[in-house]
Amino acid sequence: MSRKTTKPEGTTIIDFTSRKPGRNVEDMERAWVYRCFDLDPLESKRTTSKAQNVPDSHPSISGGLWYLAMSKTSSVRQFVAMNPKAAPDCLEFLSRDSDAAVRQFVAGNAGTLPETLARLAGDSAITVRRAVAGNPVSSPETLKLLAADSDPAVRLQLSENPQTPGEGLALLSWDMELIIRYQVAIHANAPAELLHSLASDPAVLVRRGVAQSRNASAETLALLAKDDELSVRQLAAANGRAPADVLARLVADDNLYVRRELAKNDRCSKDTLKSLASDSDLFTRYLVTTNERRSPELLVELARDADVVIRRAVARSEDAPLAAFRILSEDKDTLVRLWLARNEHTPPEILELLANDEHLSVRQAVADNEKATSTAMQTLSADHNIYIRRSVATSHPTSADILSVLAHDPDHLVRCLVAANLHTPPDALEALARDDSADVRRRVAANPNSPPAILHELSADPDEAVKACIVRNAFAPFAALRTLAADADPYIRLLVAKTKYALPDMLEQLAHDHDAWVRRAALRHSCARLN
């Protein structure tokens, strides 16, 4: 049991269990540490009902932390000081600890009161003040006070704190340490006026931080766009807040890395991108093709680019106009036409032109394109290359009329693919069910869209694999299963006995089969249904 007042020094903890023979203070501290860490083996074996707000016989965690806070062992007090469940008054008590490590953990705890942190900001230990400077709970007044701290580690931690106010950042902007001024430049709370003053900082790193800041004003970015340092101009060109007129001035920059960053910036105007589309640098022109702000007319111009890399990039674009696609369909480079045939946004009329392409890979890509029209598929279904016709047989947009034509294809594999296609019409499946190839008939038997009459007819097929496919077909008619239940092959009868689509009378018939395996499977299946 415990009795506790609002004042830590007046708190009294009475624990009669510690007075039992065989137990000492170290054992009690160890038990409370286990409980706070939730590593006690007895705690992990609690039932679900215990976890659902059922009263516990053990004291609360808060009382246990108070018990540990008065330990003579510094490491135990440090554990309490860093524990997020520690009460504010307990942390206030530990903030006056003689050990600097304990006070440091209190200063870094998010549960510490701002008043306690304000007092710790004047602590003699640097580690304590540094922890206060990095604590987001510290008040703006405390953080502003730490901006004038004599130790650079404290000021650096303050510059990295996301809650540091603008007044504190203004004081840190005059710091002698370069890294501190850089952290101020990239800070999310840095005001535009402060960034403008840092834009003239003699250190390149600081100006780079200002150039990439989201808070930099148009005037500041315009100043940095004229900076002598390449990396500063490069970051200014990549800044998403830079105005269009500032970016337009960077088009004439002598360095290609600046122009490349400019070509990636979504804030660029269409006129700026048009100027960059004629840049001498290949990669700059390529980045223009990937910029979301480029106009469709600009893609038409880039479709005539002298470099094949640019034309291939346009062929992969999703919003190129018809004029650009038409130019690229007549390109001499095979990969340009191939990317065009693979593009799902290519207009249907362009795909119809590419269906007559001289290169096999281009025609194959058209056959695999889901946007291909029936006209393009009709052209490809009569292609002299068997691989093209095979692609048409498996393609989704292939119409029923084309599949009916391909059902009589001289190539064996084309007919197999048509027989397995779920969109093949019944008349084509009927023709394929009488095919000379057993492989074709097997695929008809396995096709779930095959009509029941065809499956019943195939149940008398001489090929064992064809009959096995019928048994495995979930849409096989009962008449076909009855025929196969009396088949001469015991393997087929065994498959019927095992299938879940067999009727009770079929299982009863197979339970008296002369083959022991068939009888056993039928009896086992019947018993499973009864249970």
pLDDT exceeds cutoff 80 at 293:
yes
Single out the residue in 359, 376, 397 at which a domain terminates: 397
10-24, 215-229, 339-353, 375-389: range with lowest mean pLDDT = 10-24
Read off the amino acid at residue 415.
R
Is 137 inside any structural domain?
yes
pLDDT exceeds cutoff 60 at 516:
yes
Contact 243, 218 (CB under 8 A): yes
| Neighbouring C-beta atoms of residue 170, cutoff 10 Å | 17
* Of the candidates 471, 472, 481, the residue with the CA atom closest to the CA atom of residue 507: 481
Position 36 confidence tier, pLDDT thresholds 50, 70, 90: low
pLDDT exceeds cutoff 60 at 6:
no
Single out the residue in 397, 417, 438 at which a domain terminates: 397
The rounded distance, in Å, linking the Cα atoms of 361 and 358 is 9
Average pLDDT on 376-404 reads 90
What pLDDT, on the 0 to 100 scale, is given for residue 488? 93
Position 9 confidence tier, pLDDT thresholds 50, 70, 90: very low
In the chain, what is the straight-line distance between the N-terminal and C-terminal CA atoms, in Å?
A: 59
Phi, psi of 349 (to 5 degrees): -65, -30
What pLDDT, on the 0 to 100 scale, is given for residue 398? 82
Question: What's the number of domains the chain is made of?
Answer: 2
13-27, 124-138, 263-277, 428-442: range with lowest mean pLDDT = 13-27
Is 495 inside any structural domain?
no
Helix ranges, 447-515 (H): 452-458, 464-472, 478-485, 490-498, 504-510
Note if the pTM is more than 0.75.
no
The rounded distance, in Å, linking the Cα atoms of 11 and 516 is 85
What pLDDT, on the 0 to 100 scale, is given for residue 529? 85
Question: For 337-357, how does the pLDDT look when each residue is reduced to its tens digit (9 = 90+)?
Answer: 999 999 999 999 999 999 999
Is 144 inside any structural domain?
yes
Is 347 inside any structural domain?
yes
pLDDT exceeds cutoff 50 at 57:
no
Question: For 100-138, how does the pLDDT look when each residue is reduced to its tens digit (9 = 90+)?
Answer: 999 999 999 999 999 999 999 999 999 999 999 999 999
Check which CATH number belongs to the domain holding 131 and give it. 1.25.10.10
Which one-letter DSSP state was computed for residue 59? P
Is 349 inside any structural domain?
yes
Is 483 inside any structural domain?
no
Residue with the bigger pLDDT between 338 and 3: it is 338
Contact 181, 206 (CB under 8 A): yes
Residue with the bigger pLDDT between 336 and 60: it is 336
Average pLDDT on 443-470 reads 95
Residue with the bigger pLDDT between 38 and 500: it is 500
Position 68 confidence tier, pLDDT thresholds 50, 70, 90: confident
48-57, 88-97, 334-343: range with lowest mean pLDDT = 48-57
What pLDDT, on the 0 to 100 scale, is given for residue 492? 94
pLDDT exceeds cutoff 70 at 43:
no
What pLDDT, on the 0 to 100 scale, is given for residue 71? 86
What pLDDT, on the 0 to 100 scale, is given for residue 66? 83
Q: Is the dihedral of CA 289, 293, 296, 301 positive or negative?
A: negative
Per the structure, the complete domain to which residue 99 belongs is given by: 1-172
Average pLDDT on 306-324 reads 94
pLDDT exceeds cutoff 80 at 63:
no
Single out the residue in 143, 172, 201 at which a domain terminates: 172
29-38, 92-101, 304-313, 367-376: range with lowest mean pLDDT = 29-38
pLDDT exceeds cutoff 60 at 395:
yes
Tokens of 410: 């001289």
Compute the mean pLDDT over every residue in the chain, rounded to the nearest whole number: 88
pLDDT exceeds cutoff 50 at 148:
yes
Is 469 inside any structural domain?
no
What pLDDT, on the 0 to 100 scale, is given for residue 38? 53
Average pLDDT on 504-509 reads 92
Q: Using DSSP bridges, classify how beta strands 2-3 and 12-13 pair: parallel, antiparallel or unpaired.
A: antiparallel
Read off the amino acid at residue 205.
L
To 10 degrees, the CA torsion angle through 358, 360, 361, 362? 30
Average pLDDT on 251-261 reads 93
Average pLDDT on 65-83 reads 88
What pLDDT, on the 0 to 100 scale, is given for residue 15? 45
| Neighbouring C-beta atoms of residue 290, cutoff 10 Å | 12
Is 101 inside any structural domain?
yes
Average pLDDT on 245-260 reads 92
